[in-house]
Structure 1
Amino acid sequence: MKDIGGNHEAHHLCVLVHGLWGNPNHLEFMAKSLREKNPQDSLHILVAKRNSGSFTYDGIELGGERVCQEIEEEIEKSANQGHVITKLSLVGYSLGGLVARYAVGLLESKGLFDEITPVNFTTFASPHLGVRSPSRGWHSHLFNILGARTLSASGRQLFTIDKFRDTGRPLLEVLADPESIFIKGLAKFRRKTLYANIVNDRSAVYYTTGIAKTDPFTNLDKIKINYMKGYDDIILDPQRPIEPLEPKEPHHTFYESVLKTSQTTFGRLPLFLALGIFIPVAVVAFLINSGIQSVRSNRRIKLHESGLAGIQPGNYRVPLLIAGMREAVEDVYENLNSAQNHEYLVPGTEEEAAQEPCSPITEQPSSSLPDSPTKILKHRAPEKLEPHPHELPTLALAPFQFRMIQALDNVGWRKYLVYIHKVRHSHAAIIVRTQKPSFDEGRVVLSHWLDEEFII
């Protein structure tokens, strides 16, 4: 990708971080859109490049250290040219959002935010709660096992089966601990914004990208979607994203019943095809490639740990808790992931699940954002067993995921929900990962971000 960073005259540095299997080219349209909106003398753009391709297998921790080093080098380069960076913004796409959150913690621990003002932190389709399927079926179990063990360190962390350092907890849980450097650093950003696809995101589904314990978009026929004025039928109204439709009495004929059953069966064909066709062919190649990449990733991690990979890990292995210190391969994964169906908790057990014993996390008072698009989607645990017809069931998430939701929401996100219609690959379309007509709806998303959310 052509360098459009700038001439270092700007005092505001914006860093873009790509996702899993990604490279800087995935963010080309985003970077160009930023530059068209903000001239070189007002914004300096850095597209992080040291986690490209298979290097994203190396884990969120190592990826975050690489990004942190790139940021420090860019700030130093500007200083050497006589231009002082006084503002910093980070934008993460997919896995890049988690890598950026890790980098924020490192920058916080180094005291950078005492000298530089953190302004914007934005994520697009980032799996903040991981990608573990909240389902109990055998196919979901297979997906969770395969996914966690075929993406090296990143896979273990995304599926939350890792034990991060001496915490004994998954890295993503530590990232969301209110007493960690990661949450303390994130909270300092003036504006924290996320964009989440409501459907057709084959890599990261709505509940994790939207940081939610419910999913009202599993059956679009039962809801009315309200959109923001001026942004086509793409971005949902933050004040009132959906309204329930009153249920109608079914009057199915025998033919309609048979048709509905067949549609349900055919709707699961992606999974059947993936298991019946891809496993003998593509999945074998997927596993072979994953094995090779995992071996290479483990070697890179060992070199990194020994200080032979260009980064001295000792510079970034800081105390984590404030209290204590003071495409083919991708398609196989996506097809398996997109075939999952949600499982839900029994009504009345939500609070019990969230309080299930685990490592303690300090609770903070809830903060409220009047313009939060998920405001009407949040529900208290019902006091009765039978839920209200319009009440959304709670997803069968892990106990620590409920705590993560609470801690992340307390930081104060501005959430925007996106409905991509034209293509069944909304994960790529949301940022116009490739400039083709079917991804044009992503241009509307980026336009909203730049016009309404991004602060200079």
Structure 2
Amino acid sequence: MTRIYRETLGSTTVDSSKAEQGRDARDTSLTNAPAAGQEAHMKSGPDGEELVVIVPETNKDSATYDGIDWCGERVTKEILAQVKRLKDEEGKIVTRFSITGYSLGGLIARYVAGCLAQKGFFQTVQPVNFSTVATPHLGQIRYQTFFSKVFAFLGPRMLSRTGEQLYTSDDWAESGRPLLDVMTDPGRIFYQTLSTFAQVRFYANTVNDRTVPYMTAAVETSDPFRDHTFNGIKIEMDEEYSSVIASFTPSDVPKPKPPPPTLFSRMWFKNVKSFKIPLPPVLQFKFPGNILVLILIPILLPAVLGLVVFRISLDNRKSRSRLRLLEKDESYRERLVHAIGRVERSIEDAAVDFMDDPGREQTSLLQADGSSPATASSSASQEPGSEAPKLQSVDVLLPLQHIIVQTLNALPNLKKHLVFVDPVTNSHAVIIARDVKRFKHHELGQGVLRHLADNFIM
């Protein structure tokens, strides 16, 4: 199952469709990972259902820079094409639908759900499972650090349309609002469709996720796991699913931090030997290799950063060029417009929104003290409703992000599952056990995948 989810989630979204063939529907069981764009069928079950897993292949490489909306349009097209193929070539009718997204794919999945609903897909198909894993539901968070400020400045400029949307600096469909705001509006088709799924599950790393931190993945306004080693939090792990938290208990009395070791003491040398530079796993070495890498950083870092900036700039230019062509294509423009139900506002819509917005803004201000209506309770498999301790003195969320927190936590069938992977440099890839062959520690995420699979409703 590990490789299945590694490849499936790594392709940003999954279409898991329950199909039946006439009156003699057959169930299937997925045993091997499908290649991109292909399907995997699972063996027959007791009720004759068949599970078909589709891995979208259109959002590869720099195509993910084109924006959540355009990526979602492509995936929607693939799903509908596969549904048509199942009907025309195999005589099978899709009756149930589930979708899972990893990282940015979770936002794309939310957009896809709205697109499918706009096309009438769910008039005959039942929405069942909606799951996201390490997805930035709030967009990127602007922490009060130097690097965070640099990324907040460069992200919208260097990551094309996707960067603008993740940093909520876009004006989507000339609506005057960022896409993440529109997708969380209870009056819009995206949120309404998400509310119809039988179960909605958010999986979030609690620590060490440098790509999608806890608050944006878990949709929270505070972080009880910040400085978890010394803040006194008690964490109970699930005995059946490794790395999944069963429960946790925050503490108002943090542990005292130990004093730093004396220079050249035994503890100092021990820390030097175990010291790991926050670099990718392929560049992590034990003593004395770690010291050698540290010495070479002043030489290697400028070259590596130069290559990274060059690659990102190149992908950004390619994406901007594609977007200009897409915006000129009338057929694509129509698909984009109709997929969101003509979300461009008329003057009458703007007047209605003006009356509604003050209430939404007031609600966000009420939550601006760092608590949210659906925050971490004593159970790690959370349902909305309780308050988390105020462990952060500085509110790092934007007013819009507070609104998104409140609205998403109001989803009727939402459950959150928290993951604790420590110590690792970056737990973002570990949570889906992305590459267990190259990196042994990625096996820590296999329990998360089993939890996701075991809670999947057929």
Q: Structure 1 residues 432, 251: CA separation in 2 closer, same or farther (over 3 Å shift)?
A: closer
CA contact (8 A) 1:423 1:439 kept: no
Which secondary structure state, in structure 2, belongs to the residue aligned with residue 430 of structure 1?
helix
Q: Structure 1 residues 7, 275: CA separation in 2 closer, same or farther (over 3 Å shift)?
A: same
In 2, Cα distance between equivalents of 1:270 and 1:299: 35
In 1, Cα distance between equivalents of 2:59 and 2:103: 13
In structure 2, the gaps of 5 or more residues are 9-15, 29-33, 280-293, 350-361
Q: Structure 1 residues 244, 366: CA separation in 2 closer, same or farther (over 3 Å shift)?
A: closer
Tell me the TM-score normalised to structure 1 length: 0.73
* Counterpart residue number, 2:417: 416
In 2, Cα distance between equivalents of 1:434 and 1:317: 38
Tell me the amino acid that sits aligned with residue 352 of structure 1.
L
| 1:85 maps to 2:94 | yes
In structure 1, the gaps of 5 or more residues are 15-23, 327-348, 357-364, 381-389
Tell me the amino acid that sits aligned with residue 430 of structure 1.
I
Tell me the amino acid that sits aligned with residue 409 of structure 2.
D
Tell me the amino acid that sits aligned with residue 445 of structure 1.
V
Out of 430, 445, 457, which is 1:455 matched to? 457
Between 424-433 and 85-94, report the one with greater CA deviation: 424-433
Structure 1 position 99, deviation (Å): 0.6
| 1:400 maps to 2:400 | yes
In 2, Cα distance between equivalents of 1:93 and 1:253: 39
Tell me the amino acid that sits aligned with residue 391 of structure 2.
L
In 2, Cα distance between equivalents of 1:373 and 1:184: 23
Equivalent residue runs for 1:300-379 within 5 Å: 300-307=322-329, 312-318=332-338, 319=341, 321=343, 352=365, 373-374=381-382, 378-379=386-387
Q: Structure 1 residues 353, 7: CA separation in 2 closer, same or farther (over 3 Å shift)?
A: closer
Which secondary structure state, in structure 2, belongs to the residue aligned with residue 89 of structure 1?
strand
In 1, Cα distance between equivalents of 2:67 and 2:17: 30
Q: Structure 1 residues 105, 192: CA separation in 2 closer, same or farther (over 3 Å shift)?
A: same
Structure 1 position 432, deviation (Å): 1.8
Which secondary structure state, in structure 1, belongs to the residue aligned with residue 94 of structure 2?
coil
* Counterpart residue number, 1:172: 180
Q: CA deviation digits over 1:109-158, x for unaligned, max 9?
A: 1221111100000001111111232x234332112112222211111111
CA contact (8 A) 1:64 1:100 kept: yes
| 1:61 maps to 2:64 | no
* Counterpart residue number, 1:102: 111
Out of 168, 186, 193, which is 1:185 matched to? 193
Q: Structure 1 residues 375, 391: CA separation in 2 closer, same or farther (over 3 Å shift)?
A: farther
Structure 1 position 440, deviation (Å): 1.0
CA contact (8 A) 1:105 1:185 kept: yes
CA contact (8 A) 2:18 2:97 kept: no
* Counterpart residue number, 2:442: 439
In 1, Cα distance between equivalents of 2:306 and 2:160: 17
Q: Structure 1 residues 82, 369: CA separation in 2 closer, same or farther (over 3 Å shift)?
A: farther
Tell me the amino acid that sits aligned with residue 229 of structure 1.
E
Structure 1 position 176, deviation (Å): 0.9
Which secondary structure state, in structure 2, belongs to the residue aligned with residue 207 of structure 1?
helix
Q: Structure 1 residues 434, 101: CA separation in 2 closer, same or farther (over 3 Å shift)?
A: same
Which secondary structure state, in structure 1, belongs to the residue aligned with residue 54 of structure 2?
strand
CA contact (8 A) 2:27 2:50 kept: no
* Counterpart residue number, 2:84: 76
Structure 1 position 166, deviation (Å): 1.7
Tell me the amino acid that sits aligned with residue 239 of structure 2.
K
Structure 1 position 373, deviation (Å): 3.5
Tell me the amino acid that sits aligned with residue 402 of structure 1.
H
In 2, Cα distance between equivalents of 1:53 and 1:104: 23
Equivalent residue runs for 1:225-374 within 5 Å: 225-232=235-242, 234-237=243-246, 240-244=247-251, 246-247=253-254, 255=262, 270=278, 280-307=302-329, 312-318=332-338, 319=341, 321=343, 352=365, 373-374=381-382
Q: Structure 1 residues 267, 254: CA separation in 2 closer, same or farther (over 3 Å shift)?
A: closer
Structure 1 position 255, deviation (Å): 4.3
| 1:428 maps to 2:429 | yes
In 2, Cα distance between equivalents of 1:434 and 1:9: 34
Which secondary structure state, in structure 2, belongs to the residue aligned with residue 65 of structure 1?
helix
Tell me the TM-score normalised to structure 2 length: 0.73
* Counterpart residue number, 2:58: 50
Which secondary structure state, in structure 1, belongs to the residue aligned with residue 429 of structure 2?
helix
* Counterpart residue number, 1:384: none
* Counterpart residue number, 1:220: 228
In 2, Cα distance between equivalents of 1:54 and 1:252: 47
Q: Structure 1 residues 25, 143: CA separation in 2 closer, same or farther (over 3 Å shift)?
A: farther
Q: Structure 1 residues 392, 25: CA separation in 2 closer, same or farther (over 3 Å shift)?
A: farther
Structure 1 position 304, deviation (Å): 2.0
* Counterpart residue number, 1:209: 217
Q: Structure 1 residues 406, 397: CA separation in 2 closer, same or farther (over 3 Å shift)?
A: same
Q: Structure 1 residues 267, 207: CA separation in 2 closer, same or farther (over 3 Å shift)?
A: farther
* Counterpart residue number, 2:286: none
Q: CA deviation digits over 1:183-217, x for unaligned, max 9?
A: 01111110101111111212111110111111111
Structure 1 position 375, deviation (Å): 6.0
Q: Figure out how many residues of one structure are paired with residues of the other and give that number.
A: 394
Equivalent residue runs for 1:140-155 within 5 Å: 140-155=148-163
* Structure 1 vs Structure 2 CA RMSD: 4.4
